[in-house]
Structure 1
Amino acid sequence: MVLPEPVRIERLARLDAQIARCRRCPRLVSWREQVAREKRASYAEEEYWGRGVPAFGSATPSVLIVGLAPAAHGANRTGRMFTGDRSGDWLYASLHRVGLASQPTSTRRGDGLALHGTRITAAVHCAPPDNKPTTEEKRTCGTWLDRELALVAPTVRTVVALGSIGWDAVLGAVREAGWEVPRPKPRFGHGAEAVLGGPHGEVLLLGSYHPSQQNTFTGRLTEPMLDDVLGRAAARMQP
């Protein structure tokens, strides 16, 4: 049974609030709070979020973007996914170029940014030390993605996985939900795609290299490469 849209929207809001309060992973909780106390010198006057970072964007998305985890001085500081660091600068600029964001920058909550038919979430919702969550932390946090996917499934037509961890998190969540997944397991790569059999029709899974500084500084990921993947997602949006 498909829940009425107002009910799904209300449950997503409740889910976001639960993610912000989550304390299931002691190592991640300790690290996010330590960073929020000690701060980076350039942000010393700011109040850090220092909690689990919920998803951002539409509650009825056609496009779902799944990243890795909040950055210690990015989303862990601002409280919004991919906001306050160079990875976010790349992502939101690209989303704006392909028509999925109202502006090319995301600096803080309340800055006027809106996403068009798009929702951004992550495999892990707390900033991990060295950007490396453990297998157990990924498994524990994966239950949030399971619940989020169930609520947005009626409208989602494309899922974009940023990086191999995001790719694996999506495949794990859709399998848990009973979706049809190609065999053998679809392999991650930039521009990779797989057709998933969801409860409300086919969903296209697209892979993109993560817009991390390591990838963007070295040229492994370029603006045209990211625009290509996100543009493919935008082209599949329902009219």
Structure 2
Amino acid sequence: MDAAATGGMSEARPGPDNPDFPAHQAARCASLRVLDQQVAQCRACARLVAWREHVATTRRAAFQDWEYWGRPVPGFGPDDAALALIGLAPSAHGGNRTGRMFTGDPSGGILMAALHEIGLASQPTSSDVNDGLALRGVRLTAPVHCAPPANKPTTTEERDTCRSWLRAELELLRPTLRTVVVLGGFGWQAVLPVLATAGWQLPRPRPSLGHAVHLALPATADRRGLDVLGCHHPSRRNTSTGRLTSQMLVDVLARAAELAGLQD
């Protein structure tokens, strides 16, 4: 990639295997398209790289005929989104298989059905990158772009290494972004420091995640106010135990869409 595409910088750059790669490259991405390309090249966290590639090689029996993506999964959705949904990380046989956030796993199915119900997704399913799905005014992303072992939260070091991608993504969305929905406690802990570093003023002490919790972050001199909503993650555990129902998810997303100006 030439210097112009990444913001005009031409100095020596750390390679994709270097832990400094995300911080160096993310800040130099002039568009979400370029950011997504850089995310997909990242190999900064050796443990996550080894796991995602192992899964892509061994595969689940039901997907033996698939050619797994097996790389970091970029965000998905329009570059002028007013609403951002931030999850945890791609699942091993979902995003890591299909190459798209919340695609090919039960969590993605539940989320897409809810987005479709409120008119923000063109269809209620999300099975593969060629399924025709389009999102209206919504971008899906995560604080960690690689599938973690056993679909469990990554280490603090891995989360912090990946943080630069999320910060750059939110900054590139800033001209149109009005609302953020954070899915799950891990995402909540990862996102709030990113928002604070980006210049939004968070309350002190920082609130814990609660379902449908709402933070109205005030405007500053150089950025508009931002509404941040919390929601339980649509994981199989949460939905099977009733901790999160389809209606609960729809209600939070509908409120977020209203705050973002995507619904009357």
Is the Cα contact below 8 Å between 1:63 and 1:118 reproduced in 2?
Answer: yes
Q: Give the secondary-structure state (helix, strand or coil) at the position aligned to 2:97.
A: helix
Structure 2 equivalent of residue 109 of structure 1:
129
SS, match of residue 218 in structure 2: strand
Matched position secondary structure for 1:80 = coil
3-state DSSP of counterpart to 2:37? helix
Structure 2 unaligned residues grouped into runs of 5+: 1-6, 8-28
- On the 8 A contact 2:227/2:259 being kept in 1, the answer is no
Q: Give the CA deviation at 1:39.
A: 0.2
Tell me the TM-score normalised to structure 2 length.
Answer: 0.85
Is 2:216 the partner of 1:195?
yes
SS at match of 2:225: strand
What TM-score do you get using the length of structure 1 for normalisation? 0.94
Which structure 2 residues correspond to residues 1-239 of structure 1 after superposition, within 5 A?
Answer: 11-131=31-151, 132-198=153-219, 199-238=222-261
**Residue type at the aligned position of 2:144:** V
Deviations 1:119-158 (A, max 9, x none): 0000100000022211110000111001111110111111
Structure holding more strand per residue: 1
**Cα separation, 2, equivalents of 1:10 and 1:44:** 38
Whether the 8 Å contact between 1:182 and 1:195 is mirrored in structure 2 is no
CA offset at residue 103 of structure 1?
0.7
Paired residues in the alignment total 233
Q: Distance in 2 between matches of 1:233 and 1:200?
A: 19
Tell me the amino acid that sits aligned with residue 220 of structure 1: R
Q: Percent identity?
A: 55
What CA deviation, in whole Å up to 9, does each residue of 1:58-115 have, x standing for no partner? Answer: 1011000000000000000000001000000000000001111111011111211110
Shift of 1:222: 0.2
CA-based RMSD of the aligned residues comes to 1.6
Paired with 1:165 and 1:55, the residues of 2 have a C-alpha distance of 17
The answer to whether the Cα contact below 8 Å between 1:99 and 1:234 also exists between their aligned partners in 2 is no
Provide the C-alpha distance between the structure 2 equivalents of 1:137 and 1:36, rounded to a whole number of angstroms: 20
CA-to-aligned-CA distance 1:185-239 (integer Å, 9 cap, x gap): 0221111111123543211100000000010011110011000100001112336
Structure 1 position 10, deviation (Å): 6.0
SS at match of 1:57: coil
One-letter amino acid of the structure 2 residue matched with residue 61 of structure 1: A
Amino acid at match of 1:201: R
Q: Supply the AA of the counterpart residue of 2:256.
A: A
How far apart are 1:170 and its partner, in Å? 1.6
Q: For the pair shown, which has the larger CA radius of gyration, 1 or 2? A: 2
| Stretches of structure 1 lacking an aligned partner (at least 5 in a row) | 1-6
CA contact (8 A) 1:94 1:104 kept: yes
In the alignment, the residues of structure 1 paired with residue 84 and residue 166 of structure 2 have an alpha-carbon distance, to the nearest angstrom, of 11
**SS at structure 1 position matched to 2:55:** helix
Letter in 1 for 2:248: M
Following the alignment from structure 2 to structure 1, what is the Cα–Cα distance between the partners of residues 176 and 47? 35
CA–CA distance in structure 1, aligned partners of residues 238 and 137 of structure 2: 27
Greater RCO structure (CA 8 Å; 6+ sep): 1
